[in-house]
Amino acid sequence: MKRGASSRRIPREQRDWEHAEPAVRVWVDYAERKFGVEFRHHECELHLDELVATQSEIELVKYKLVREEGYRAREPIMVYRGRLGTSFIVDGHTRARVKWDLGERVATAIVLSANNVELDTEFARIAETVGGGKPMHIRDVPVVDRLGEGSDAWQKRRAELRRDWRRALARKPPSSARE
């Protein structure tokens, strides 16, 4: 497989970003308004070592849900690749990190793109900020336990994530539910 090569296009009319967290859909709408762009998107396999993180850490509780229970594990990650060619993770840091830690080196991704260098600059700024002055790759993003594994707060967060996941699966048509 060629690095970054497309394998399957998603129809242009599919604008519901069904695989993304609600916050990503909000972000897509915000970015389209703020930068005056309309995203193009396609699904393909991407090499994990090429992906730049846009969050500073990964929650241990979510990491364990993905790794041990398959929480959203089959969903594609969402990536923005702009005109300058860098691929930034928009949604799926935890899934990508679990794959990396399990020895996988590629992941299915929905790749967003736009012809706006301002957006590339914004992503680069975010990546540098969360990386403490330099962009981090997914293998470098720390997995952090801020709740105390097994604590009441941990159990509450775990239950929240599982509840939201069940609700999301219930809303998807049977043919698109990826578990």
User: How many residues does the structure list for the chain?
Assistant: 179
Indicate yes or no: pTM above 0.85: no
Lookup: tokens for 75: 């969903």
Domain definitions of the chain by residue range: 6-167
Other CB atoms within a 10 A radius of the CB of residue 63 amount to 20
In this predicted model, what pLDDT tens digit does every residue of 84-112 receive, in sequence order?
Answer: 889 999 999 999 999 999 999 999 998 99
pLDDT (tens digit per residue) in 107-145: 999 899 988 888 899 999 999 999 999 999 999 999 999
Upper half-sphere CA count for residue 79 (Cβ side, 13 Å): 30
Average pLDDT in the chain: 84
pLDDT at 14 over 70: no
Rounded-to-10 torsion of CA 93, 112, 125, 63: 0
**Which CATH number is 6-167 given?**
3.90.1530.10
| Whole-angstrom distance, CA of residue 154 vs CA of residue 61 | 7
